[in-house]
Amino acid sequence: MEMKTKTHKTIVIKLGSSSLTNEKRELNVANLQRIVKEILPWLKKKSFVIVSSGAIVSGSAKLGLKTKPKTIPEKQAAAAVGQTLLMKEYEKAFGKEDVTVAQVLLTRDAIADRERYLNARNTFLTLLKLGVIPIVNENDTVSIDEIKVGDNDTLAALVASLIGADLLINLTDIDGFYMDSEEGVSYLVDKIETITEEVENAARHPGTELGTGGMITKLQAAKIAQDAGVAMIIASGKKPGVITNILEGKQEGTFFVPKAAEVESRKRWLAHGLTTKGTISIDPGAASALKKGGSLLAVGVIGNKGSYQAGDLVSITNEIGREIGRGLINFTNHEMEKIMGKKSSVISSLLGYETTHEVIHRDNLVLIN
Ligand code: GLU
């Protein structure tokens, strides 16, 4: 299959720990150099951002820890050590061709806050304009759970969405996404248009559990990418020529087809940048009204969970609990308790004050999948 990847201009490459470290948990410098060598010839035509894992694993080896660190302080210490090892090697490998690299360490709060999101976006775009390769990782050393993205598959998809990339190449220790045929034979899937429940179930396939975040986080990342209009490929990080092949338009791994090419930046941010504070379930009538571009009204709300304020981001699920959208809600969870299922005309009298009747305005709402 000939792929459109030839025409892609802005590319995010995610390198998993398995592509960058060896069985002794040390940096696999040879593989890092090979990957960089495959990127170099394209730099005149395309821009690249690398999202690189491997800090915690390589840092732990350097510190002489016997096993992969388990406690948070150990992981954070290892990340601080490993991150400089990684940057040193990227600097050396790209420096051979006088290409400058930049270290960008992110946490979720840099993406969740709209102002900081736009600021991060400007930084990335400026670096790319200057011909610099941003090397991104989570700021593991200072990240606590509340502000963490948590895995680099998701981080890479958020970065791809943030900068409006065309393609995210997710390089891992398996050559793509596998499913089972009706006869129970595993096969590599070439192309996935929609991440259905069948695909989600296949992510739990034991053959695809090798990567750091496993296939489940890769599928979550693929959803973020697809919704943001970014194509994503899962392919092997150990296979020589993998990047060259992809950029020449040859089939490699599994291709996740992006949705509508142009998604408004604010809506992309709404969909995946923030953490949700609650969940609103809605009936099929409301779901189809949203699909037609309508706002969410109280009458269609059948469930309400979480503790949130007006203006917070909530998840919208259908009647069987599948997330179908996200949006900034106009009411608190207590107010929602009183008005869910009720007609718009009675909302003000139920609450005892004049208020908007839209639960979530269509401008503040984004549908996912
Ligand atoms: N940020 C982690 C590291 O550099 C990797 C997390 C991941 O691969 O998902 O070690």
Ligand 1 centroid–CA 158 distance in Å is 15
- Give the model confidence (pLDDT) of 142-193 as tens digits: 887 767 888 999 999 999 998 989 999 999 988 999 998 888 888 999 999 9
Ligand 1 centroid–CA 87 distance in Å is 14
Single-letter code of the amino acid located at 117: Y
What average pLDDT does the segment 231-253 reach? Answer: 96
Quick one: which atom of ligand 1 is closest to the CA of 59? 10
Contact criterion met (CB below 8 Å) for 360 and 304:
no
**Average confidence score pLDDT of the chain:** 90
CA distances from 28 to 15, 17, 50, 86, 160 (A): 12, 9, 16, 10, 25
Ligand 1 centroid–CA 163 distance in Å is 21
Beta-bridged to residue 137, according to DSSP, are 105
Mutate to test the pocket of ligand 1, among 17, 19, 75, 210 (most ligand atoms within 8 A of CB): 17
pLDDT surpasses 60 at 138: yes
Quick one: which atom of ligand 1 is closest to the CA of 151? 9
Pick the residue whose CA is nearest to atom 5 on ligand 1.
53
Quick one: which atom of ligand 1 is closest to the CA of 57? 10
Exposed e or buried b per residue across 224-255, where buried means at least 16 C-beta atoms within 10 angstroms of its C-beta? bbbbbbbbbbbbbbbeeebbebbbeeebbbbb
Exposed e or buried b per residue across 121-130, where buried means at least 16 C-beta atoms within 10 angstroms of its C-beta? beebeebbee
Lowest mean pLDDT among 138-147, 204-213, 230-239, 325-334: 204-213
pLDDT surpasses 90 at 86: yes
Backbone torsions φ then ψ of 114, nearest 5 degrees: -60, -40
Model pLDDT, residue 210: 37
Model pLDDT, residue 112: 79
Q: What is the reported pTM?
A: 0.79
Mutate to test the pocket of ligand 1, among 53, 87, 139, 172 (most ligand atoms within 8 A of CB): 53
Question: Using CA atoms, how far apart are residues 57 and 150, in angstroms rounded to an integer?
Answer: 15
Quick one: which atom of ligand 1 is closest to the CA of 140? 1
- Residue 265 structure tokens: 């930046």
Rounded (10°) CA dihedral 7, 133, 103, 59: 80
Ligand 1 centroid–CA 32 distance in Å is 15
CA 64 to chain CA centroid, Å, is: 32
Pairing between β-strand 177-180 and β-strand 186-189 as defined by DSSP bridges: antiparallel
User: Which regions of 110-183 does DSSP assign to beta strands (E)?
Assistant: 133-138, 167-172, 177-180
CA distances from 226 to 172, 175, 310 (A): 19, 20, 29
Domains in the chain: ranges and CATH: 10-267 (3.40.1160.10), 276-367 (2.30.130.10)
Give just the sign of the alpha carbon dihedral 194, 4, 209, 179: positive
Contact criterion met (CB below 8 Å) for 58 and 25:
yes
Question: Using CA atoms, how far apart are residues 317 and 182, in angstroms rounded to an integer?
Answer: 31
What average pLDDT does the segment 114-124 reach? Answer: 85
Model pLDDT, residue 312: 86
Ligand 1 centroid–CA 56 distance in Å is 7
CA 37 to chain CA centroid, Å, is: 26
Model pLDDT, residue 262: 57
Ligand 1 centroid–CA 72 distance in Å is 13
Model pLDDT, residue 36: 98
Ligand 1 centroid–CA 287 distance in Å is 37
For residue 275, the SS3 value is coil
pLDDT surpasses 50 at 127: yes
Pick the residue whose CA is nearest to atom 2 on ligand 1.
53
CA 358 to chain CA centroid, Å, is: 30
Lowest mean pLDDT among 4-18, 65-79, 140-154, 283-297: 140-154
Quick one: which atom of ligand 1 is closest to the CA of 52? 4
Contact criterion met (CB below 8 Å) for 278 and 315:
yes
Give residues (CB < 6 A) around ligand 1: 16-17, 53-57, 79, 137-138, 140, 151-152, 212-213
Ligand 1 centroid–CA 17 distance in Å is 7
- Residue 31 structure tokens: 């593989």
Ligand 1 centroid–CA 57 distance in Å is 8
Helical packing angle, 114-129 and 152-163, nearest 10°? 80
Question: Using CA atoms, how far apart are residues 319 and 168, in angstroms rounded to an integer?
Answer: 32
Question: Using CA atoms, how far apart are residues 21 and 104, in angstroms rounded to an integer?
Answer: 20
